[in-house]
Amino acid sequence: MNKISPFLWFDTEAEEAATFYTGLFPNSRILDVQRHEAQDATKSAFVVTFELDGVKFTALNGGPMHATFTEAVSFQVDCADQAEVDRYWDTLTADGGEPGQCGWLKDRWGLSWQIVPTALPTLLADPDPEAAARVMKAMLAMQKIDIATLEAARAG
């Protein structure tokens, strides 16, 4: 069990977001849903506890008085290959999500994610400083990271 885990404040979408995220990431599940049964005739979720790839999250429907999500906090998703990058990118930017620069995006709730191929750090750390600089320049021009383009940039 992790001593520290993310806690996310939503207006009213905690259960919807938890269901979406647990459907996207492997080894994920909703653990518990606490509802406002006494106060809310719709019995909407108040707190949703869930795991994403084994990491515990808590989501709260705290109402609109919260601060919105910003890029100051994001979740990095390490991807084994381009197909995985494409799947996470396309799913998280769908239905109102926003692509950002250099592998960053915001999902439909405004939560920031970094979709990063595991090849990226190796390509950026190429022992040839000119090759590494070409990779960096190519990456800075991208929204979704494209591994083949980065490899071509490294090759010159």
Greater model confidence, 113 or 67:
113
pLDDT of residue 17: 97
Q: How far apart are CA 49 and CA 78, in angstroms?
A: 23
pLDDT at position 130 is 98
Q: Kindly tell me if the per-residue pLDDT of 38 is higher than 70.
A: no
Residue spans of alpha helices (H) in 25-81: none
pLDDT at residue 68, rounded to an integer: 84
pLDDT of residue 1 exceeding 90, the answer is: no
- How far apart, in Å, are the Cα atoms of 48 and each of 2, 51, 59, 80? 17, 10, 5, 29
pLDDT of residue 40: 59
Give span(s): CATH 3.10.180.10, the chain.
1-65, 68-156
Checking if the pLDDT of 148 tops 70, the result is yes
pLDDT per residue as tens digits for the range 44-90: 889 999 999 999 999 999 888 867 898 999 999 999 999 999 999 99
Least confident of 11-15, 65-69, 116-120, 130-134: 65-69
The pLDDT assigned to 39 comes to 57
Q: What pLDDT is attached to residue 62?
A: 87
For the segment(s) 68-156, the CATH number from 3.40.720.10, 3.10.180.10, 1.25.40.420, 3.40.228.10 is 3.10.180.10
Question: 53's torsion region: left (phi>0), alpha (psi -120 to 50) or beta?
Answer: left
Provide mean pLDDT across the span 18-37.
Answer: 94
Separation between Cα atoms, residue 126 and residue 133, nearest integer Å = 9
Contacts of 143 (CB under 8 A, 6+ apart): 99, 100, 101, 102, 103, 105
Query: How deeply is 63 buried, as exposed, middle or buried, from its count of CB atoms within 10 A (0-12, 13-18, 19+)?
Result: exposed
The CATH number of domain 1-65 is 3.10.180.10: yes
